Amino acid sequence: MSEEIFKKVVSHAKEYGFVFPSSEIYEGLGAVYDYGQNGVELKNNLRQYWWKSMVQLHENIVGLDAAIFMHPKTWKASGHIDGFSDPMIDNKDSKKRYRADQLLEDKIERYQKDGKAQKAADLQQAMDAALLDNNLEAMKQLIVDHEIVCPVSGTRNWTDVRQFNLMFSTEMGAMAGAEDNKVYLRPETAQGIFVNFLNVQKTGRMKVPFGIAQTGKAFRNEIIARQFIMRMREFEQMEMQFFVRPGTQQTWYAYWKEARMKWHHKLGFGAEKYRFHDHVKLAHYADAAVDIEFDFPFGFKEMEGIHSRTDFDLKNHSELSGKKLQYFDAELDENGKAYGNYIPYVVETSIGLDRLFLATLCAAFKEEQVGEGEQKETRTVLSLPAALAPVKLAIFPLTKKDGLPELAREIMDKLKYEFNCFYEEKDAIGKRYRRQDAIGTPFCITIDHESLTTQTVTIRHRDTMVQERIAIADIQQLVQNACSWKTLLD
Ligand code: ATP
């Protein structure tokens, strides 16, 4: 059932200009996608929702837009050159490559579905232990012992498990081939924040605790790409690094955990769609980590990570660059002594914009039975929060003549500066309504003959489908109130 819904969401995303496969005329490119005319609006709005909540509403958080290319030493310091890899395994018959941990996870799910709870728990425990020890042989043994077969060839003819680095590299400058010219496409945006820590702290005269927020592209050569825009090779992150006094990180970790969950709940899709998932295996830089998972049609999956990253990154960048990435804290401790110089600890919130986009589409997508008797039909509607909708107001003259288009254009020309409007004359009004429902437009107005004499229009509400007559002069305020960022941010 859920799989069916997911299929519908994916084809809806394509049909209504939200998401297209990249370079589709050439059969697409694995796990790379383009956002269409409605997708780009929704994505921009989701990004804005995050940015406003982080930067605009926090006096102690500022923004940054660092470059995608960074000095190669960045990735040495961050641990990505040595440690940013996934365990992979190939099937020799199908020549297909898999993530070993995902094969095991799929098997655990299968055991659970078949009612073999004990077997599932045992395998989970063994896999966690193998991951924790980075024990690739043990992982291979689990795949053998649990008789996992390749979904394509159906055989158990596996290679050994190997580590596969997920960073894309390319060459900078004219001299191809020289190892010195190798640069990476950033696998996370966070490092752009760390290397700018002093720049921002000094020029912005920031005082700990303070945060730096950034949104931007990140690249990972994922071994297998699955589930549409869930796991992409080029994706967008929205990250915030919060610099705190050492020893206070647990308090701030708890603070951001709660704040971020609240932010998700504000979207109004239902609190039961979200849950926390504590990490068993902590990343090399973390002293605590939790995911916020969303109930996608294919199950609960990570959408955001909140990590207590200690002073790992700043310390390593200090060592490798020879620059002191420190902060002087003039505040006094309980003994009346200044805290003095230290490397701040960091609590990070990191969310994938594309996963948020997918969660939003899945949660907002509805098929409803409307009408009675012969008129009965299914309407597809995206119940997006009004502030996020790609189009806020659709403007329809009832007919193409009698001066109705002229009045409709007049309204459009006044309101288009305030919010995204869409004008359409073609087809029956009912059809036009349906097309707007499908992209989540909260309001449609129809200009009819009465409009010419009374200066009123019919406004139709997306969710209730209620229609009412209002003065042309009141449209702007009504739409602005309903679509205000305050409805989400307050
Ligand atoms: P996963 O376990 O799913 O691979 P991760 O734990 O490696 O994710 P992080 O490194 O914590 O992810 O990245 C932070 C966020 O970036 C994730 O919560 C997710 O929303 C997003 N993200 C990570 N990898 C991808 C990807 N390949 N495609 C889309 N979004 C991604």
In sequence order, which residues have a C-beta less than 8 Å from that of residue 24 and are 6 or more positions away? none
Spatial distance between the Cα atoms of 391 and 176, rounded to a whole number of angstroms: 47
Q: For the residues 119-131, what does the mean pLDDT come to?
A: 92
Measured between alpha carbons, how far is 253 from 288 in angstroms, rounded to an integer? 8
Lowest mean pLDDT among 51-60, 168-177, 414-423: 168-177
- Looking at the chain, the whole-number percentage of residues with pLDDT higher than 70 is 98
**Whether the predicted pLDDT of 175 surpasses 80:** no
pLDDT at 340 exceeding the cut of 60? yes
CA atoms within 13 A on the CB side of 344: 24
* Share of residues in the chain with pLDDT > 90 (%): 89
Q: Indicate if ligand 1 lies below 6 Å from the C-beta of 237.
A: yes
The predicted structure's pLDDT at residue 283: 76
3-state secondary structure of 148: coil
Is the pLDDT reported for residue 177 higher than 80? Answer: no
Indicate the pLDDT class of residue 49, thresholds 50, 70 and 90: very high
Least confident range of 73-87, 333-347, 391-405: 73-87
CB atoms within 10 A of CB 153: 14
The DSSP call for residue 472 is G
pLDDT at site 334: 92
| Ligand 1 contact via 350 beta carbon (within 6 Å) | yes
Specify which residues 90 forms β-bridges with. Answer: 97
What are the tens digits of pLDDT across the range 277-326?
998 777 777 889 999 999 999 999 999 999 999 999 999 999 999 999 99
What Rg value do the Cα atoms of the chain yield, rounded? 26
H helices present in 402-474, as ranges: 404-415, 429-439, 449-454
Structure confidence at residue 178 (pLDDT):
64
Q: Tokens at residue 122, please?
A: 């045992």
Q: What is the mean pLDDT of residues 390-406?
A: 97
Q: Distance between CA atoms of 33 and 23, rounded to whole angstroms?
A: 8
Indicate which residue's Cα is closest to atom 30 of ligand 1: 352
- Measured CA to CA, the distance from residue 352 to residue 218 in angstroms comes to 10
> Residue 174, SS3?
coil
Higher-pLDDT residue of 225, 35: 35
78 Cβ below 6 A of ligand 1: no
CB 305 within 8 A of CB 289: yes
* Nearest Cα residue to atom 16 of ligand 1: 352
Give how far Cα 5 sits from Cα of 16, 39, 218, 364, 435, Å: 16, 19, 29, 12, 19
18, two tokens: 């939200």
Q: What is the pLDDT of residue 134?
A: 84
Tens digit of each residue's pLDDT (9 = 90 or more) over 89-109 = 999 999 999 999 989 999 999
- Going 312 to 315 to 320 to 321, the CA torsion angle's sign is positive
| Ligand 1 centre distance from Cα of residue 219 (Å) | 10
| List of E strands, 297-427 | 299-310, 327-332, 338-342, 345-352, 365-370, 377-382, 393-397, 421-423
Mean pLDDT of 325-342: 95
Q: Whose CA is closest to atom 31 on ligand 1?
A: 352
The closest residue, in CA terms, to atom 19 on ligand 1 is: 352
The residue assigned the tokens 């254009």 is 409
The pLDDT mean for the chain works out to 95
235-261 per-position pLDDT tens digit: 999 999 999 999 999 999 999 999 999
Q: Is the CB of 305 under 6 A from ligand 1?
A: yes
Helix or strand holding residue 21 (H, E): strand 19-21
Q: Where are the beta strands (DSSP E) in 72-158?
A: 85-90, 97-99
Q: Which residues contact 339 (CB under 8 A, 6 or more apart)?
A: 245, 329, 330, 331, 332, 333
Find where tokens 């679509």 sit.
Answer: 483
**Confidence at residue 226, expressed as pLDDT on a 0 to 100 scale:** 77
CA of 216 relative to ligand 1 center, distance in Å:
13
Identify the band that residue 436 occupies on the pLDDT scale cut at 50, 70 and 90: very high
Cβ(232) – ligand 1 distance below 6 Å: yes
Mean pLDDT of the 202-228 span: 94
Structure tokens at 368: 């409803």
Give me the amino acid identity at 436. Answer: Q
pTM: 0.92
SS3 for 348?
A: strand
d(CA 189, CA 191): 6
Task: In whole angstroms, give the CA distance from residue 252 to residue 234.
Answer: 30
What does the pLDDT read at residue 279? 87
CA of 348 relative to ligand 1 center, distance in Å: 14
Residues whose CB is less than 8 angstroms from the CB of residue 324 and which lie 6 or more positions away in sequence, other chains included: 318
Grouping H, G, I as helix, E, B as strand and the rest as coil, residue 372 is coil
Compute CA 424 distance to the chain's CA centroid, rounded to the nearest angstrom: 32
Reported confidence tier of residue 371, pLDDT bands at 50, 70, 90: confident
pLDDT band at 389 (very low <50, low <70, confident <90, very high): very high
Burial of 281 (0-12, 13-18, 19+ CB in 10 A): middle
- The pair phi, psi for residue 170, each rounded to 5°, is -150, -175
Q: Is 215 in the pocket of ligand 1 (CB under 6 A)?
A: no
pLDDT at 1 over 70: no
Cα 354 to middle of ligand 1, angstroms: 10
Predicted local distance difference test score (pLDDT) of residue 173:
82
DSSP code at position 398: S
Q: What are the residues whose beta carbons fall under 8 Å from the beta carbon of 411, sequence distance 6 or more?
A: 395, 445, 447, 457, 472, 475
Query: Which residue, chain included where needed, has tokens 């609590």?
Result: 347
